[in-house]
Structure 1
Amino acid sequence: MSTPTKFDDEKQQPVPAYGDNSPADSDTEGFAVLIAEDHRNEIKLRTMSWQKAAWLLVGDQVCLAIMAQSWSLSVLGWVPGIITMVVAGILFWITSITMHKFIMKHPSIRDICDFGYYIFGESRIAYEFTGFMLLANNILLIGFHVLTGAKVLNTLSDHSLCTVVFSIIVMLMGIVMSVPRTLKHVSFMSMFSAACMGIAILLFLIFSGIEKAPLYGYNGDYPTDGLVKTYAFPLPGTTFIANMNAVLNITFLWVPQILFPTFIAEMERPQDFPKALAVLAAVSCFLFIVPPAIGFRYLGQYATAPAFGSLGVVAYKKASFAFVIVPTLVIGVIYANVSAKFVYFRIMGSSRHAHSNTVIGWGMWILVMVGIWALAFVFSEVVPSMGDFLSLLSAAFDSFFGFIYFAIAYWQLYKGKLFAGASRSVMTVVHVFIMLCGLFLLGPGLYAAVEAIIADYSGATRPAFSCANLAI
């Protein structure tokens, strides 16, 4: 962990009003020192513009999980589903701004672990606990993307090879793409990732609109479950477990903040992060709601996760799903980069190899990256249902990284002045609600995720390192 930088005048700085972006709101002197120090290194990390940060954010968020939201609507119905999406989006913006404000007060923060260290009063235990959650969350997510890549290749090739072989191919491609050390270079890949996912979504919407009927849903082939229909509220018989997992599926999409401190730490002007965030919020508000709503309109109760699987014409399914391979790899690379940096700097510390083009430095970087992707590959092969485990991740980790941590950060920013004025009082109440949301996900949400996994294990499960066809 980086050594906290102290400044003599830090305590004299006034606590700004929420939403105020005045220069007093950020420790610009502290960032200037860190940026100048970084730029003396051979490998410069703090070089990313807010435009490149925006591409990085969009590339991370425009992902396959968007195509699972139609299924969430099919479980929750229009009213609870859309309300959940809108509320999740609003809370995403508020918590992200709170995170940025806290980081601007503590310039030495360079990842979510440093963030946890400071919000819990410079606690080493909090740092190590957050580090464990960071690695567990990211490696399982990379594993999910390895499995998704194997599904894409299975679908396109009509299962021409063993699924394990496809997974190995995806892992090796991920390792090669993960070699760049700086997120500035990864953001270049994110442009193509977002474009490819956008094409996949557009093709899906066109195909779902022009085909006569969906192929199948979780209750059988069309029209086993009747004609396609949509509904305002959950259908009779929908269980709490199903509803909760649909909610977790939505919150999982809206909670990427585990990566944000690392992104901010590599910006040349960290104070510009809200600009990049605004771009992400605009893109997300459209893509996270409109395509899933259109998908639910045409697929109804036959919606699957991802929705590509419900398309009735095989050629349509292949044509749209093919573009998913690019975001699958690039998003895996983003999570691998953040994870590798945490491990790498723990190993290399402040040695010259950490920021220089030395054989030892690059050798260790590649070794760490190979280890992360290899471990993710193992998880992708031994976990019987990655979808259920993503619900578990959402409940166990997103409850902290999407809600609880930022409610605590807000309290640390404004303690003693939580109700100083009407606007501050409103935001304090909002952050109390954010804390309650996090605790709800951690309690009932975690229970629902575990119950879903138990139900999966009680039936037929995919064997470890199976060659079975995983085509959608």
Structure 2
Amino acid sequence: MTTYADEKQDLKGFTNNGVDSDTEVASFTDLIAEDHSHDIKLRTMSWQKAAWLLAGDQVCLAIMAQTWSLSVLGWVPGIITMLLAGALFWITSITMHKFIMKHPQIRDICDFGYYAFGKSKIAYEFTGFMLLANNIMLIGFHVLTGAKILNTLSDHSLCTVIFLVIVTLIGIIMSLPRTLNHVSFMSMFSAAAMGLAILLFLVFAGIEKAPLYGYLGDYPTAGPVKTYAFPLAGTDFVACMNAVLNITFLWVPQILFPTFISEMERPQDFPKSLAVLAAISAFLFIVPPAIGFRYLGQYSTAPAFGSLGVVSYKKASFAFVIVPTLVIGVIYANVTAKFIYFRILGKSRHAHSNTATGWGVWAGLMAFIWAIAFIFAEVIPSMGDFLSLLGAAFDSFFGFLFFAVAYHQLYRGQLWKGATRSVMTVIHIFIFFVGLFLLGPGLYAAVKAIMADYAGTTRPAFSCVNVAI
């Protein structure tokens, strides 16, 4: 039986002018006290550890796909899209935090949807489905990425299926810790490894004579390396829309945030963690891709490592990506497993105690989640295009629509009270329509790209085909 967030714990001290901090602290204090009475304590993260967890999730391989987005859109539309995505990310994340302060019993994005849509059980179940689909497909993407890395480093020394199995087994083992507080420790190494991979790529791209190849052909068949302000002639809507979805996908991780907040010892400190992430993201999501575009131009690939002309350069930089590939998969697996875990065990002692049943269910769920992700990694011909599909189908909700609706719930009846509130209302109306645009034309472009994948030569499922970059 589904256990919904306890409606009796709604805060009474919240006003439409903001959050009553005294009330929110008292309410969260009660929840934390209850949590700390259990054997397994979830609400233990400091804001610093939450910042590391956020960075570990966001400093990822998708950064290396932004160079390709710039090569499709050009400097002007590309940079504008990046800056706009960053600004909307900050605004929607703050709206999410304010909404959770009003409903401290929210444990995940499903509870968030339940309250945002007027305590709708339909919204809860629909959000649960999207959470599972989004996260398991993303874990599948990381399984496939891990196999790509191992293929690249070993010159395809083993069948790709074996590499996929190896990555899956490692992922299951790394996912066994129950608390995000433990996972945040892994995230420190993940962010550092990805940062080093990006740095090495930029150095190698700068010192080599020319890139190896791009989607327009091997160097120099597409002419000398060049950059441009706007899309090249012949660039169609589908390509541009998928480049935009690539950018928004990187900037929209909020599907995980409610779970992160629910495991903080002081959830009211989450904006501090968010500020650290915003500073890191503003630099890494724009500067390295811009430098990469400068050196690769129209020969940019996704990820950009594939454009490097010297094999040793490609291997040296791409090797470090194995760490964030595994750790980010672990983060998504943890959030996914907790949603199913508490639906199975509810508030029984097994849910929070070191019992054989509790640990058995947890380990079984992890094995099941990674196994399904393994199948996705095998049968999907191009995970890149499926990331665009995720961006359109799910990020439209979890990055935009949900928070426009939550804002309306927060300030219903006082949406136009004062100049600042009016401006924020207009921004959230814009956010709502951005979500609709991604869900409509964005989903169309993603599906067209996937259809093109299947129309061409695709990697057979469960094959030993080399997937090295």
> Shared fold by TM > 0.5?
yes
CA distance in 1, matches of 2:9, 2:286: 44
Alpha-carbon spacing, 1:11–1:39, altered in 2? closer, same or farther (3 Å): closer
Aligned twin of 1:247: 244
* % identical equivalent positions: 79
Aligned twin of 1:175: 172
Q: Is structure 2 residue 130 aligned with structure 1 residue 128?
A: no
Determine which of 303, 309, 327 is the counterpart of 1:312. Answer: 309
CA displacement 1:184-225 (0-9 Å, x = unmatched): 000000000000000000000000000000000011110010
Contact 1:109–1:261 (CA under 8 A) maintained in structure 2: yes
Aligned twin of 1:45: 42
The aligned runs of 1:64-463 (5 Å cut-off) are: 64-463=61-460
Shift of 1:346: 0.5
Shift of 1:30: 1.5
Shift of 1:14: 2.3
Contact 1:245–1:391 (CA under 8 A) maintained in structure 2: yes
Contact 1:164–1:466 (CA under 8 A) maintained in structure 2: yes
CA displacement 1:264-318 (0-9 Å, x = unmatched): 0000000000000000000000000000000000000000000000001000000
Contact 2:172–2:367 (CA under 8 A) maintained in structure 1: yes
Aligned twin of 1:54: 51
CA distance in 2, matches of 1:338, 1:466: 30
The aligned runs of 1:2-17 (5 Å cut-off) are: 2-6=4-8, 10-11=11-12, 13-17=14-18
Shift of 1:66: 0.1
CA distance in 2, matches of 1:196, 1:374: 26
CA distance in 2, matches of 1:93, 1:35: 27
Residue type at the aligned position of 2:421: R
CA distance in 1, matches of 2:80, 2:67: 14
TM-score by length of 2: 0.98
Alpha-carbon spacing, 1:305–1:3, altered in 2? closer, same or farther (3 Å): closer
Contact 1:5–1:30 (CA under 8 A) maintained in structure 2: no
CA distance in 2, matches of 1:39, 1:423: 40
CA distance in 2, matches of 1:279, 1:14: 28
Determine which of 20, 23, 34 is the counterpart of 2:21. Answer: 23
Residue type at the aligned position of 1:330: V
CA displacement 1:315-353 (0-9 Å, x = unmatched): 000000000000000000000000000011110111100
CA distance in 1, matches of 2:455, 2:377: 20
Shift of 1:28: 1.8
DSSP-derived class of the 1:6 partner: helix
Shift of 1:7: 5.2
CA distance in 2, matches of 1:332, 1:7: 33
Alpha-carbon spacing, 1:434–1:62, altered in 2? closer, same or farther (3 Å): same
Shift of 1:119: 0.5
Shift of 1:5: 4.3
Alpha-carbon spacing, 1:230–1:41, altered in 2? closer, same or farther (3 Å): same
TM-score by length of 1: 0.98
Residue type at the aligned position of 2:17: P
CA distance in 2, matches of 1:107, 1:16: 18
Shift of 1:3: 3.6
DSSP-derived class of the 2:230 partner: coil
CA distance in 2, matches of 1:465, 1:421: 60
CA distance in 2, matches of 1:259, 1:273: 13
DSSP-derived class of the 2:124 partner: helix
DSSP-derived class of the 1:14 partner: coil
Alpha-carbon spacing, 1:13–1:71, altered in 2? closer, same or farther (3 Å): closer
Contact 1:5–1:107 (CA under 8 A) maintained in structure 2: no
DSSP-derived class of the 1:425 partner: helix
Shift of 1:6: 2.6
Aligned twin of 2:468: 471
CA distance in 2, matches of 1:445, 1:101: 29
Shift of 1:12: 5.1
CA distance in 1, matches of 2:454, 2:12: 55
Shift of 1:16: 2.6
CA displacement 1:75-97 (0-9 Å, x = unmatched): 00000000000000000000000
Contact 1:2–1:108 (CA under 8 A) maintained in structure 2: no
Residue type at the aligned position of 2:356: V
Shift of 1:360: 0.7
CA distance in 1, matches of 2:237, 2:39: 55
Shift of 1:13: 3.5
CA displacement 1:118-141 (0-9 Å, x = unmatched): 001101110000000000000000
CA distance in 1, matches of 2:120, 2:455: 41
DSSP-derived class of the 2:265 partner: coil
DSSP-derived class of the 1:27 partner: helix
- Superposed CA RMSD in Å reads 1.0
DSSP-derived class of the 2:8 partner: coil
CA distance in 1, matches of 2:151, 2:458: 19
Alpha-carbon spacing, 1:253–1:12, altered in 2? closer, same or farther (3 Å): closer
CA distance in 2, matches of 1:266, 1:397: 24
